[in-house]
Amino acid sequence: MILAVTGGKGGVGKSTVAYNLAANLDAVVVDGDLGMADLPADHGPDLHDVLAGRADSVEAVREGPPVSILPCGRSLAGARAGDPTALVSAIEAVERAYGDVVVDSPAGLRADVGLPLYVADACVLVTTPSESAVTDAVRVRELARELDAGLARVVLNRADDGANPDPVAATLGAPVTTVPDDAVVADAQAAGQPVCRASPGTPACQAFRSLADAVERVCRGHRP
């Protein structure tokens, strides 16, 4: 299964959702945001090297714990050196080697947003409760439809207590999982840990586990 995590705008917590979803699915997370990488990285070959033909995508995966990841470089020079269209074959190779793959996709409607959606079996769309974020998410939802990336779930991220997910579900046309606005999420991210490893039993951990369970149920039909 290849799952693209996407969002209509930056700053909605898309990378955090991708990382925690991969942790709960025991999947490899691929940092597919070629120009604005945000997932943990260390020394060694990365996705920029893969797209430039300097490394093999499977060999570039850093196996967990806590999460297996194919990181992406941070430099603009690295982003420019690679062939973005090679992202599709790179992701497919990781899927063949590891099984489930979660791709942290670029935000918005940049040209490279469509590549993870094109290769994905399904997508998860991340938004915050703000009206502007939901409006931007609608545009990405339409792109996902055009590329036949079924919408497995919407994540209403950084939601206050009592936030009503029903209008968001109606607007985006899919069930919503609400992730609370909780300091444990930021603390776990700063430590490079999934929420359920850093703060098990918290509402945020329960939300990410619920999201993973929902995605499994929806996407099971895509499994070989």
CATH code: domain of residue 188: 3.40.50.300
Q: Which domain holds residue 211?
A: 2-33+100-222
pTM (two decimals):
0.92
Residue 77 lies in a domain: no
Q: Using CB atoms within 10 A of its CB, is residue 42 exposed (0-12), middle (13-18) or buried (19+)?
A: exposed
Give me the residues of the chain with pLDDT under 70, please.
Answer: 76, 78-79, 109-112, 221-224
Dihedral pair phi/psi, residue 88, rounded to 5°: -60, -50
Q: What is the pLDDT of residue 112?
A: 67
Residue recorded with tokens 């942290």: 104
Residue 84 lies in a domain: no
Residue 192 lies in a domain: yes
Q: What is the pLDDT of residue 213?
A: 95
Q: What is the pLDDT of residue 113?
A: 73
User: In angstroms, rounded to a whole number, what is the distance separating the alpha carbons of residues 75 and 84?
Assistant: 15
Largest CA distance in the chain: 50
Counted domains in the chain = 1
Model confidence pLDDT, tens digit, residues 20-36 = 999 999 999 999 988 77
Residue 8 lies in a domain: yes
Q: What is the pLDDT of residue 110?
A: 62
Residue 56 lies in a domain: no
Are 2 and 103 in contact by the 8 Å Cβ rule? The answer is yes
Residue 83 lies in a domain: no
Residue 74 lies in a domain: no
Residue 171 lies in a domain: yes
